[in-house]
Amino acid sequence: MRPYRLFVCLAVVCLPLGLPLGAQQPRAAIAPAAIAQDPVPDKVNPAAMDAFQLPSHGSQLNAFVYVAAGAGPHPTVILLHGFPGNERNLDLAQAIRRAGWNVLYFDYRGSWGSPGDFSLAHSLEDTAAAIAYLRDPANAARLHSNPANIVLIGHSMGGFMARYAAAHDPGIRAVALISAADMGVDAIGPIPAAYRDHALAPLAQSLAAEGMAPLAGCTPESVAKEVIANADAWNIPALAPALATRPILVITSDDGLTPSNDAFAAALRKAGARQLTTLHLATDHSYSGQRIALETAVLAFLATLPQK
């Protein structure tokens, strides 16, 4: 999602947001071996790909797991894609797998061929369904995964899903946000309720500009109405207290989303967060010019998490 369009379109109806907070820049890191080096082959338990349909509220979502080599049980990342999901970050998923983690990727209802109707509420439900799938003992055994060690990593709209899902599920070990999108919630929130419908047209226009052809059962207007109706319930800084006790990685780029993510990081600090890492990379929303730096930051973050 290219969020700067949303900020421009909503400028006439929104109150000004706070100034960005300076991101904490960690020292330059040496790229982990998992980025460029295959692990020693395990002939008994080789790395594999397990494709399946993930059940969620009557639909069977397209899904697969990159299974790490070794008997495990492996910690698992759920990698959540954005809106509409053109950037899948599967190079990142492969690097995470080489580092010894399983990676679950799926397409939300109504996206990229998964049956059902797309909506933000459905996507939140689908994320919870993916977590439940990994916690099922039979699935954990098949995938050699550790159901007690699940981390959410979300890009753009996937970051919106990851924040909300983890805030409502204390069993999630950690969260990594890659240019997490606010989906218009930050802009709608300050508008008095009686005037929020004025934001419908510009918000729908910005969503349509992202290209919604891969999404079924929705319109730009239907998604915009969801945002307006749930702006208070989905308030992003309000999620901070529920997440402040867990490791959080916030990565931003030059895509217009830094102020929103800086505000969330500030809310985490105010809530007492002691395991927060922030990083800004000078690149676009897909991190086109900083893929190795992105992978390095995510793998370094995962390496700090104690294994259960």
- Determine the pLDDT at residue 239: 97
Please write the tens of the pLDDT for every residue from 141-178: 999 999 999 999 999 999 999 999 999 999 999 999 99
- Determine the pLDDT at residue 11: 40
- Determine the pLDDT at residue 15: 36
Token pair of 111 as six digits: 């996206």
What does CATH list as the number for 4-303?
3.40.50.1820
Please write the tens of the pLDDT for every residue from 258-290: 999 999 999 999 999 999 999 999 999 999 999
Please write the tens of the pLDDT for every residue from 19-36: 333 344 444 457 788 998
Average pLDDT over residues 35-59: 95
- Determine the pLDDT at residue 79: 99
Rounded CA gap, 265 and 268, in Å? Answer: 5
pTM of the model: 0.91
- Determine the pLDDT at residue 31: 78
- Determine the pLDDT at residue 155: 98
List the one residue out of 243, 76, 266 whose CA is nearest residue 165.
243
> What percent of the chain is modeled with pLDDT above 90?
87
Between 193 and 2, the more confident residue is: 193
Please write the tens of the pLDDT for every residue from 186-207: 999 999 999 999 999 999 999 9
- Determine the pLDDT at residue 279: 98
The domains of the chain are located at: 4-303
| Cα separation values, 8 from 2, 259, 286, Å | 11, 14, 20
pLDDT reading at 16 higher than 80: no
